[in-house]
Structure 1
Amino acid sequence: MLLPLLYLFAFAGLADASFTILVNDNTQVDTSDCPITYYGQEYTTVYTNFTGEDLFVCFNGYYNPEGNGDCIRVPNTDNITYFILNNKNDPSYWTDLTNFVHSSVSTVTNNVTCYLHFPYKSSMALLGMGSQSVVYWYNPPPTFISVLVNGHLVENVYAIQNTEVLSDTSGCRISGLGVKPGTTRLNLETCSSMTCSNSRIASMETCSLPGQCDGNGTCSVKGLCTVTGPTVIDFSGQINSVSDRCEYSLLHDQSTGFSLKANFLERRRRDVSFVDSLTLDFSERDDIQLLQGHRVTVAGSPVTLTGSVQTFSGVDLSKDQTGVTASFSVNGLSVSVFFDGTTARIYTETSAGGSLDGLCVDSSNVSSSMLSSDSSCQDQYEDPADDTIDCAAVTQQCDILKSAPFSSCNLYVDPEPYIIACRSTLCKYPSVDNLRCQFLKAYAKACEKKQVDLQNWWTTAQCHHPQPICGDKCSDHEFCGDIHGNTDCRCRAIFASQYTEQNRLGGPTVCQDNTASLTLVGCLLKEKSIDYTHLHLNDQTCTGVIDPDSHMLKFSFSSDSCGTEVTTNNSQVIFTNAVVTRNSSSDVITRQDEVFIEFSCSHPKPELQNVAFKIIDNSVEVFLQSGEWKYSVTMKAYSDAAHTQLLDPKSDVRLNQKIWIVLETNGLDEDVVSVVTDSCWATSEDSPNSVPRYDLIRDGCANAQDGTVSVMGNGEGTSNSFSFNMFEFSGKGTSEVYLHCQLQLCVKKNNNCVPGCSVAARRRRSLRHRLGFPALISMAWTQ
């Protein structure tokens, strides 16, 4: 193929050329008759100049070693060449050359329509092909021909003497750099990966945030994200604030599913939120939570940390007096997380891998980083402005970050985001709980990462070393803060508002039957300087019971206890008591307000009933056999708890009068078996299966719906008893009440015969050692 193409250029080309120029100096030529598309740019002018060693053919100006030329460098020490432009308008004329180019350069598909030819001792031609072009070099010395875009080398094409070389020069231009079709080029300065497809479609992958290019081709994630109070300062130093009480993703790796989550909650004000806890969600491993009070849980269970590093689920955890640190690696990303209850610091330093997002990557992307499914966390509140806050003074206090000793770090860490975070929060939220110093400390820690030590900054800023923390004392509706100069658990604003807006210290009175209870909020009492241990009811021996988890203080009384006063009006019986402060004659002074909280319950006054019931049989006895056991069961009714006043057919039993039923057996060895009253119920007819039916005992336990029923000694021996208040069936024409009880024998083993009737579980334990079938015994009353 070499000889026909040489002939085409050397002879036919000259004969049919549009024009030919001898070039021995800097020359500018109009080539609009043969436009050349060179790496995405179409050119209609060619500039030639010599350097003594080379010929430079450029399209956007004469070659300048310091410039940004689009040029081709050809060795030429003679400083002379010809310039030939050929655009013969005959498609058949270009057929051989087109076929040769297509067979030699796989990325070229267009037909040759013209060329720019530079023959001398060796020849170089630029083949015009519409949107494509090819540089063609033949009969060269053994050396390089260089292709430049914007002054940057795209490729050095090496050729051996008496050969021919072709190179596609219609590739992609990406960020000012040339990329050959079908290749990828890395920009080391920006860590950009630029790809040009065979069809000349350009694409680029860059070192995106939070990655940073080191200038040598390595894209690394090295940055600090600070979450302090409601504000997030991301890896790039941009700032945003969280205005609600939702959970957000701070850092999320899409390839592994790992997510670092932050939950925000209110404190003294309802309209200002603070970062309250962090969750390390590893998807395939146990979650780790960093909580208030320097507490940590792994898979929901608390762990005890010390200053020494301990590893849980691949995470290194440690704790000191300032907070908790968690260090781990996920998908090649090394992360260190610190949390002290008010400020979270997330530091990363590693080669960028995977796709990262979250507020630490882009703090402006709040909506897509929200994780909470409960929309109530988004409810917005607006509390009255705090007139004690002087915003001008706050600004001055926050601007200290631009003064010594902080100013020595200003060149390394921009103080402005931290100043904005400090100012925007403290112009709305009171500067209490060491909050101002938290913002200053966040900046000082960022300076430490840049190896800038702000020694004794807290003295200049009039800050104190870390204050004592509440540990695990605070409940979910509390936070650790200052109360009258002491560090203790305060009420969160939204929780407290349901009481304070009604000027109350607790909930409403709860009334049930002849009992009443009142619950006071422990953290509200503390904020009012009220010591709950000094509170009691009218009877000083009746004190409140504090819940160790919720810190709620509960007082309870009945109509005949704790100094309760009982009064009546026309239709109500009223039980009244009060929570008061204990007074002691030995107390010379007191530092707490006197407390007087009266609460009461009212019930309809019982109507007088002239109806009286009489027992039909004062004693019922049945004889039974169960296996080898032959025994009798007797049911008796009494009007007193001591079982001394036996009811008989002459005894009147009024409605709501308490009676006691005793079930006794004869013929059983109480060391071997026990009697279990499995169920007792009442019917209005003598059949135990008739309806209506009213249960007094179910599964061995008193009916929880009827507060008058009590069961004694069930399953403990060969006898037991129960009590209830007498009743009649509503709307029934008959006045009879039939009482039925079903009993079982149970072999004693490890107290397994006693029904479990705790408040939490009203179901009786399975009696695995039952004997025989249940026995039924009945008793009846009538008006």
Structure 2
Amino acid sequence: MVCDKGECAVESLCSVIGSQLIDFKSATASIPDRCAYTLLEETQGIKVVGVFKERRRKDTNLVDHLVITYDSNIILLARGTVKLDGTVVDDLSTAAFPKQITVTKTATEMTLTYSTVLVLVFDGDSVVLNVKDSSVVSGGACSDSTKLAAAKDGSLSSQGCDTAETEAADATIDAAAMNAQCDLLTGSPFSDCNALIDPTGIIKACKEFLGNYGSKDTTDCAFHQAYATICGMAKVTLTDWRTTAQCVSSAGQCLETACVSHEFCGLVGSEPKCLCRAIMKSAFTGNSVGGPTVCSGSSASLNLAICTVDPVHGILNFAFDSTNECGTEVKTENSQMIFSNQVQLTTADDIQQGAVITRHDQFQVDFSCYYSLPEVKNVALKIKSGSVVDTVTSGEWTYTLTMTAYENEDRSTEIAQNTEILLDQPVWVELKTDGLDENLVSIVTTSCWATSEKDKDATLKYDLIITPGCPNGQDSSVKVDGNGLGTSMFFSFNMFQFTGKSSDVYLHCEVSLCAKSDKSPCAPAVSGRHTELTVFDLIFCVAGLHWTGKAPQVPEVPQVLLKDPNPGLISMSWTKVATTRETNRADQGPQPDQGPS
């Protein structure tokens, strides 16, 4: 209840989190489609409409953007964009918003305030509406979620938005873990607010949503964020709730990322990227990246959905005919006129820099009306083999050296054969030994490099770690940790492929054993000078996961540099997920192929 000069009004709260609506009475409803719904109408003329779209699942529709109308003005709040009457607002402080309406923005949320009646907070995943006086509410789903169908706004809904979509349940979702995440809303520090704001409705909505959608793109934290926002409106500060809920501190990573309508902002690793929406993505089966070739007379055109290949947005159209050839080959063969061309995608930076490697996907599509040789190199890479074991005999000690690739920095999720790795996605590689006395011996990874073929001495190579064990200063994605400090170390880099070469990437590392001594540390000096390895220079040219070897007994100081007489070699490599199909057309008349693939 809010009181001003002796007059009191009942305060009402409504929230939409993902696909779940919690109305003024804490009743919940799930948004069933990709249409627009009126959330709130007031007698004073303001109207709030939420537009819903799918993201990673076809059957789950999340709040995408808000349309607020008042006094013939239209305000749009969306990820990365604020618009007033169709024009993007760059400076909110000088924008000519309607009287009594203000819009502010932080790194994590947008806030619209209408007089003393309404406060609306939107963070890209959820919207919270705080109506200071419920007596002014005249309609909308927030007032009664059981009348959701009546709240549908046909003027802002796209054609076919109510077409039902289905998708198989995600077997990887741990329902118990999701429920436990939702139940955190009744524990500390959230319990400090429970007496004022009943979390029952939000918890119910949380379990409903996460049980189907999971924790993709940190949506498991959206409910906690919304509850914290509501508690803040009630003047209750939840101390350090992100730590309790294990939610990243950089909430709203996608709030500044604007994507086109057929894309949404999602996280690749920890970086926000524009990705294809699920329904659009499902239209391109296998390695398809666009629609079919359209043939008409002596011309052909092709549309490519670039978000199916790389996280950059847009649909590109390519066309050619007999007067505008654009590099097209036009020839007659076996009574057929064949128009053929090729589309290739690369980045301006790669072209300007003449880059040896790229962290953007490369693809090429050959297309024609009668004969096509489509070839697409997809964005995902997979490790070619699992654990590989090689035995090396050298001296008297027996130990195991393991090289393992991981998806995450804490190295809890190992990259398996069925794991797809995206270009520019961080990869962590750990070199770890078992059987060595860490008080006597350290391992030093003196260099690591990648080649586009199995041969470690191939001419075309890319350095990740350079002698004497430091990250390549030309690649800011390379990080080295613990090198020469013990019997394990790890390094990380962002995944890449070789520009214009095969889809394979082979990783090689030189690993040396070094006896510890107070006089000569093993850790590489980052000054650029070569490290002196005081005992043992056991060099392995590796590109693999596991091997074992025997090292000679560590001699007493003064120490002597020895070369391993029997170095070991095994292979680790990644390959692009790609297929090539060939289609011949012998029909009469212009015939398109089946589209790029």
- For the Cα contact (< 8 Å) 2:14–2:22, is it kept in 1? yes
Distance in 2 of aligned mates of 1:311 and 1:416: 36
- Alpha-carbon distance, 1:556 to partner: 3.8
Aligned residue number for residue 325 of structure 1: 111
Aligned residue number for residue 289 of structure 1: 76
Matched, 1:599 2:367: yes
Task: Choose which of 558, 572, 590 in structure 1 pairs with 2:336.
Answer: 572
Distance in 1 of aligned mates of 2:272 and 2:257: 13
Task: Choose which of 132, 135, 140 in structure 2 pairs with 1:358.
Answer: 140
- For the Cα contact (< 8 Å) 2:178–2:214, is it kept in 1? no
Task: Choose which of 239, 242, 266 in structure 1 pairs with 2:28.
Answer: 239
Matched, 1:264 2:52: yes
Aligned residue number for residue 280 of structure 2: 495
Aligned residue number for residue 15 of structure 2: 226
Distance in 1 of aligned mates of 2:40 and 2:255: 28
Task: Choose which of 382, 399, 403 in structure 1 pairs with 2:187.
Answer: 403
- For the Cα contact (< 8 Å) 1:444–1:454, is it kept in 2? yes
- Alpha-carbon distance, 1:458 to partner: 0.8
Q: Which amino acid aligns with 2:367?
A: F
- For the Cα contact (< 8 Å) 1:307–1:319, is it kept in 2? no
- Alpha-carbon distance, 1:230 to partner: 0.8
Q: Which amino acid aligns with 2:190?
A: F
Matched, 1:434 2:218: yes
> What secondary structure sits across from 1:252 in the alignment?
strand
Distance in 1 of aligned mates of 2:369 and 2:272: 38
- Alpha-carbon distance, 1:451 to partner: 2.3
- Alpha-carbon distance, 1:494 to partner: 2.0
Distance in 1 of aligned mates of 2:269 and 2:62: 22
Q: How do 1:136-151 and structure 2 match up within 5 A?
A: none
Question: Residues 157-195 of structure 1: CA distance to partner in whole angstroms, max 9, x if unpaired?
Answer: xxxxxxxxxxxxxxxxxxxxxxxxxxxxxxxxxxxxxxx
Distance in 1 of aligned mates of 2:169 and 2:26: 29
- Alpha-carbon distance, 1:411 to partner: 2.0
> What secondary structure sits across from 1:418 in the alignment?
helix
- Greater RCO (Cα-Cα under 8 Å, separation 6 or more): 2
Matched, 1:452 2:241: no
- For the Cα contact (< 8 Å) 2:15–2:129, is it kept in 1? yes
Change (3 A) 1:408 1:310: farther
Task: Choose which of 359, 364, 386 in structure 1 pairs with 2:170.
Answer: 386
Aligned residue number for residue 126 of structure 2: 343
- For the Cα contact (< 8 Å) 2:185–2:224, is it kept in 1? yes
Of residues 564-573 and 242-251 in structure 1, the stretch that sits farther from structure 2 once superposed is 564-573
Q: Which amino acid aligns with 1:440?
A: H
- Alpha-carbon distance, 1:430 to partner: 3.4
- For the Cα contact (< 8 Å) 2:214–2:220, is it kept in 1? no
Distance in 2 of aligned mates of 1:463 and 1:484: 15
- Alpha-carbon distance, 1:472 to partner: 6.2
- For the Cα contact (< 8 Å) 1:305–1:317, is it kept in 2? no
Distance in 2 of aligned mates of 1:410 and 1:484: 34
Q: How do 1:497-576 and structure 2 match up within 5 A?
A: 497-498=282-283, 500-501=284-285, 503-527=287-311, 551-558=314-321, 561=325, 564-576=328-340
Aligned residue number for residue 479 of structure 2: none
Change (3 A) 1:354 1:579: closer
Distance in 2 of aligned mates of 1:425 and 1:511: 45
> What secondary structure sits across from 2:180 in the alignment?
helix
- Alpha-carbon distance, 1:475 to partner: 1.0
- For the Cα contact (< 8 Å) 2:189–2:241, is it kept in 1? yes
- For the Cα contact (< 8 Å) 2:51–2:65, is it kept in 1? yes
- For the Cα contact (< 8 Å) 1:324–1:340, is it kept in 2? yes
- Alpha-carbon distance, 1:381 to partner: 0.6
Distance in 2 of aligned mates of 1:363 and 1:326: 23
Change (3 A) 1:595 1:472: closer
- Alpha-carbon distance, 1:274 to partner: 0.9
- For the Cα contact (< 8 Å) 2:124–2:255, is it kept in 1? no
- For the Cα contact (< 8 Å) 2:109–2:252, is it kept in 1? no
> What secondary structure sits across from 2:160 in the alignment?
helix
Q: Give structure 2 stretches of 5+ with no counterpart.
A: 372-597
- For the Cα contact (< 8 Å) 1:505–1:524, is it kept in 2? yes
Distance in 1 of aligned mates of 2:110 and 2:96: 12
- For the Cα contact (< 8 Å) 2:40–2:137, is it kept in 1? no
Q: Which amino acid aligns with 1:288?
A: I
- Alpha-carbon distance, 1:280 to partner: 1.7
Change (3 A) 1:512 1:370: same
> What secondary structure sits across from 1:433 in the alignment?
helix
- For the Cα contact (< 8 Å) 2:120–2:128, is it kept in 1? yes
Q: Give structure 1 stretches of 5+ with no counterpart.
A: 1-211, 532-549, 604-783
Change (3 A) 1:355 1:554: closer
Q: Which amino acid aligns with 1:495?
A: M
- Alpha-carbon distance, 1:600 to partner: 0.4
Question: Residues 594-638 of structure 1: CA distance to partner in whole angstroms, max 9, x if unpaired?
Answer: 5342210249xxxxxxxxxxxxxxxxxxxxxxxxxxxxxxxxxxx
- For the Cα contact (< 8 Å) 1:298–1:312, is it kept in 2? no
Aligned residue number for residue 630 of structure 1: none
Aligned residue number for residue 301 of structure 1: 87
- For the Cα contact (< 8 Å) 2:170–2:212, is it kept in 1? yes
Q: Which amino acid aligns with 2:153?
A: L
Change (3 A) 1:493 1:313: farther
CA RMSD of aligned residues (A): 3.2
Question: Residues 243-286 of structure 1: CA distance to partner in whole angstroms, max 9, x if unpaired?
Answer: 11111111113x4553221111111111111111212222x431
> What secondary structure sits across from 1:420 in the alignment?
helix
Matched, 1:276 2:64: yes
Question: Residues 487-543 of structure 1: CA distance to partner in whole angstroms, max 9, x if unpaired?
Answer: 121122223332x2364101222335544332211211215xxx8xxxxxxxxxxxx
Aligned residue number for residue 486 of structure 1: 271
Change (3 A) 1:484 1:600: farther
Change (3 A) 1:218 1:467: closer
Number of residue pairs aligned between Structure 1 and Structure 2: 362
> What secondary structure sits across from 2:161 in the alignment?
helix
- Alpha-carbon distance, 1:417 to partner: 1.6
Distance in 2 of aligned mates of 1:311 and 1:256: 16
Question: Residues 430-476 of structure 1: CA distance to partner in whole angstroms, max 9, x if unpaired?
Answer: 31222111111111112222222111111222212224436464111
Distance in 1 of aligned mates of 2:329 and 2:272: 40
Task: Choose which of 349, 360, 367 in structure 1 pairs with 2:149.
Answer: 367
- For the Cα contact (< 8 Å) 2:28–2:145, is it kept in 1? yes
Of residues 337-346 and 481-490 in structure 1, the stretch that sits farther from structure 2 once superposed is 481-490
